Amino acid sequence: MAADRRSSWLKGVLDLLVLSCLTAGESYGYEIAKSLAEAGLGEIKGGTLYPVLNRLEEAGLVEAEFRAAERGPGRRYYRLTERGRTHLAAESAAWTEFHRAVRGKLQAGGNA
């Protein structure tokens, strides 16, 4: 049950988290998933992550470039666009305000 709840919460904020993974520079899917897992958000499987990346690319928030590798399969690298940075800033502020409201209500219980 707790895993289902966590999955539902993550769906609402995964786009924002993926964008945040790209603020320091370009990255590829596996590294993004690894970064999210290291942040304590659990394992994000490719079947969840790649549709998010495709949606962000279609929205113009990230750009992608495929690069062949000397060994093994090539990788698709993603980077934030200026539009993506602007979107990330606005949505981060909105998420922070929502989180503050939820936390305040939980701390106050039924008294607020």
Give the helix, strand, coil percentages of the chain, each rounded to 5. 70, 10, 20
Q: Could you read off the pLDDT of 68-86 as tens digits, one per residue?
A: 988 888 999 999 999 999 9
Structure tokens belonging to residue 19? 């964008």
Q: Say what the pLDDT of residue 1 is.
A: 47
Per-residue pLDDT of 26-59, as tens digits, reads 999 999 999 999 999 989 999 999 999 999 999 9
Q: Got the DSSP string for 54-69?
A: HHHHHTTSEEEEEE--
pLDDT at 3: 65
- Which of 40, 34, 46, 31 minimizes the C-alpha distance to 10? 40
pLDDT band at 2 (very low <50, low <70, confident <90, very high): low
